[in-house]
Chain A
């Protein structure tokens, strides 16, 4: 008993000591580097988003540093984990700004996490670019006023729903759509709402609409109900975890119609969950496709693949663009002062990233094109590009 007690106390002491040392180390930022923060989903339900984003940012900064950095200084990335959760994102944002003294923050990707954490970054007058926060309120407050320090690299939800409705009506020529909505996500609700409006306005009918919740695993009852309504198109604007199961179970039930969703589908995991043979005649709207044929994108995909042994996804691409936007703003402002960076960001012009050219409108939303990606045996292929 005495021995185990000793082992235990040594272990506990060691644990607390490592924690104390790593925690109180604080930031000793030397003046020849500029620190950029990444408030990312490194653990939790959306961990794959955060990890891709980190890879994208690191790649961008490596390229910049190889060319001598920005304004003669090297740029480094400090990542803080927000555990895919809104309050933890606030915590991470506070850490990046007050502990690490970053000049700007990239992330989070989840809208709710951005909205909560930007209260901290706004108070500290530090600019924040969310690569994938698509909720309108990410850049606009409750009273409709633009938040001066918040930007995003993606377009907002309504646009995706509208684009998909157009694509379904005009390219796929479907008229009877069913919708499965993730009721625990306002992202899914937003997409569904705009899809419904555009689809009905274009002459289509919504034959059925069902709700589910995140972490649900059995959708057979609702899918059977939808199948009986005889749709020729199924719109599932959710996240890959549940969407994968829905597609798989739909095919098992013999619901062989075209299926589509939003950028929440964009994960390597989708094919693992849904099984590749089920992913045919499936489409999703996205901000980015690695198969995009622009020269800039080809170079990006090549170096990303060399570095990380996989194709970049939309989170990697948009985080890459976000980092490049910060660099551009620092060059324009000729300064690494957080306030000046924010000002320069709002006026960025002539910027072209791997996801296309980006320019911010009055609400700090970028004006850019959307892509439709088709899944063939689980593989993503670039189908078409839709301009605003």
Chain B
């Protein structure tokens, strides 16, 4: 057995222990219904942030239309269960694939753009998807699609999240992932080295979009409703904020960003007027003192902690 597989099994073991601990606390009601809801929300946000990190962080393509793919998953999943009467697994698969297909179709032309232009195109795309939904009476139009049963459970959200995290982690370490990293570092150089840049950019974009779709299915089946107002560009920016907070290009950074921001938002719900203020101040402080995000593009691991102990100079630019 090679060492990578061994490391994976060890990480899976850690995930299982974590799951058992949280699940135990849920069953014994140490964690109440409110925090259970926020745990699920954290998992959905982790999926969103890490999948956006694949596009923005690994491949270096600045996309800010993630809410659009999230919406497609949410609505397609809800159509499957509410309108057509299928089960949750079908909804998950259809939601994921349809978001992926849309991601592929729009990725092909738009990924030929770069930098600011791509950002604007994806921003527009996210809004187009939302406005389309807003005008489709079949899915409720402006009132949203209502009457969605709560089929998302904590174990389901947890293991789907773990599966996606493993996929993304291994993607980064695969030949495909290395090609994506090369494109991020220098697209012309990567092209010269024989990497089909468009192919890998579209691949990362499609995968990122599909996972956002998965998150969408989980989301709409937990909150009873799929409503266009939940998928505005503010949602895209929220996801982007999580990625940037954790550090572009770091998967563990995205996970941390998603946890921290969702947690702050929930914990400060008693002080609604202060919530936005604290949130904004935290962002400003972070951008002033650590523009590369909490983790930069490093992954959180034992090795990183060890190097911090040595003086931490390596991580400071």
Interface residues of A (CB under 8 A from B): 1, 4-5, 7-8, 11-12, 15-16, 18-20, 22-24, 26, 42-43, 79-81, 83, 85-87, 90-92, 94-95, 97-99, 111-112, 115-116, 119-120, 135, 137, 141-142, 183-186, 189, 213
Contact = CB atoms under 8 A, between A and B. Distances in A.
B223 A185 contact: no
B27 interface: no
A85 to B, nearest CB: 6
B144 A119 contact: no
Size bracket of the B interface? 35 or more
Given A23-B266, A23-B267, 4 more contacts: A8-B290, A19-B268, A99-B32, A186-B142
Contacts of B165: none
B184 interface: no
B41 A91 contact: yes
15 contacts: A5-B289, A11-B282, A11-B285, A43-B273, A81-B272, A86-B230, A90-B223, A92-B269, A94-B37, A97-B33, A99-B34, A116-B144, A142-B147, A183-B142, A184-B142
B151 interface: no
Interface in B222-236: 223-225, 227-230
A291 B96 CA distance: 55
A88 to B, nearest CB: 9
Contacts of A185: 142
B224 A116 contact: yes
A214 to B, nearest CB: 9
A95 B289 CA distance: 34
A115 B276 CA distance: 25
Nearest to B37: A94
Contacts of B266: 23, 91, 95
B106 interface: no
A8 B146 contact: no
Q: Is the interface of A mostly helix, strand, loop or mixed?
A: helix
Contacts of B134: 183-184, 213
A366 to B, nearest CB: 22
Q: Which of A7, A97, A98 has the most CB of B within 10 A?
A: A98
Contacts of B143: 111-112, 115, 135, 137, 186
Contacts of B227: 85-87, 112, 116
B275 interface: yes
A112 B264 contact: no
Interface of B: 32-34, 37-38, 41, 131, 134-135, 141-144, 146-147, 150, 219, 223-225, 227-230, 260, 263-264, 266-273, 275-276, 278, 282, 285-286, 289-290, 312, 316
Nearest to B32: A98
A4 B289 contact: yes
A183 B269 contact: no
Nearest to A124: B33
A1 B316 contact: yes
Please name the 4 residue pairs, one residue from A and one from B, whose CB atoms are nearest each other, closest first.
A23-B267, A81-B272, A42-B272, A19-B267
A352 B260 CA distance: 47
B225 A112 contact: yes
Given A8-B290, A43-B276, A94-B33, A112 B263 contact: no
A142 B146 contact: yes
Contacts of B34: 91, 94-95, 98-99
A85 B225 CA distance: 11
A91 B268 contact: no
A115 B146 contact: yes
A94 B267 CA distance: 13
Contacts of A15: 264, 278, 282
Contact of A16 (B41, B260, B272): B260
A141 B268 contact: no
B131 A213 contact: yes
B154 to A, nearest CB: 14
B142 A19 contact: no
Nearest to B317: A1
A29 to B, nearest CB: 14
A142 to B, nearest CB: 5
B223 A183 contact: no
A123 B270 CA distance: 23
A116 B273 contact: no
B272 A22 contact: no
Contacts of A23: 263, 266-268
B33 A112 contact: no
B273 to A, nearest CB: 7
A183 B228 CA distance: 12
A14 to B, nearest CB: 10
Contacts of B41: 91
A95 B266 CA distance: 9
A135 B34 CA distance: 27
